[in-house]
Amino acid sequence: MFLKKNDNFLIIFVILFSIFYSYDSFAEEKFNKIKIFDYLDNINEFSASFIQIQENDVSEGFLYIGFERLRLEYTNPSKLIFILKKNRGMLYNPDLKEVQYFNTKNSAGQIFFDLFYNKNFFEDSKIISNSKEISVDKEIDFDDSKYKINILFENFPLNLRKISVGNSDTVTFFSITNHNYNPKLDKKIFSLANPLLN
pLDDT tens digits for 106-132? Answer: 677 788 888 888 878 888 888 888 889
Residues 6 or more apart whose Cβ sits within 8 Å of residue 126: 29, 136, 137, 138
Looking at residue 53, its pLDDT comes to 95
Q: Is 112 exposed, middle or buried (0-12, 13-18, 19+ CB in 10 A)?
A: buried
The average pLDDT across 160-183 equals: 92
Residue 77, pLDDT above cutoff 50? yes
pLDDT band at 12 (very low <50, low <70, confident <90, very high): low
For the whole prediction, is pTM greater than 0.85?
no
Looking at residue 154, its pLDDT comes to 93
